[in-house]
Amino acid sequence: MRRTLLVAAAALIFGGPAVALQPDGLARLLDESALRHIADRLDHAVDTKDWALARAQFADRLRLDMSSLGAGPAAEVAANDLIAGWRRAFQGAKTSLHLRTNHLARIDGDTAVLTSHGYAWNRLPAGMLGAEPALWEVWGTYEHRFTRGTAGWQIVGFTFTATHERGDRRVPATVLPE
């Protein structure tokens, strides 16, 4: 009885009554929750500069596409190289905040795609680019691609497509001393 109530409650919260009626409804809800949790952990790790936690969300290699931000064409990269680049970009007194919402998951066996709308800002303290703190904001869509292995779900593809930005474009490109 308790399990039935939990499945019904989860279905209503996360997927509506139709999900609960599917034979794999609970498994799907758990997978969707895991995918969102991984993407959230990644955002949190970057904002808190927890590079070990950030690295743990990725497979060893991934397809990275940040071309909408002028970061070059999409390419396959080593996760360690991506994290090293982020570590340099966010070192020192630079701060960031990453938020995502409106998550939609498509799961097909052991592969999945999670899309979401996102907002991020980067801030440099006063004196770095001028007398006042410098801020750069960007809005867009995220696409996280996943595969499931023996260690669970991991990100194998990461795309951010910017739709709007404002602020000082020098902020994301500025690397501060540690």
Domain spans of the chain, in order of start = 2-173
Tokens 């779900």 belong to residue: 153
Q: Which segments in the chain show pLDDT lower than 70?
A: 1-23, 178
Check residue 22 and give its pLDDT: 64
Check residue 153 and give its pLDDT: 98
What global pTM score does this model have? 0.85
Check residue 164 and give its pLDDT: 97
DSSP string, the chain: -HHHHHHHHHIIIII-HHHHHSTTHHHHHHHHHHHHHHHHHHHHHHHHT-HHHHHHTEEEEEEEE-GGGTS-S-EEEEHHHHHHHHHHHT-TT-EEEEEEEEEEEEEETTEEEEEEEEEEEEEE-TTSSSSS-EEEEEEEEEEEEEEEETTEEEEEEEEEEEEEEEE-THHHH-----
Check residue 26 and give its pLDDT: 87
Q: Which fold has domain 2-173?
A: Nuclear Transport Factor 2; Chain: A, (3.10.450)
Check residue 20 and give its pLDDT: 53
Q: Check: CB of residue 102 under 8 Å from CB of residue 128.
A: no
Check residue 48 and give its pLDDT: 97
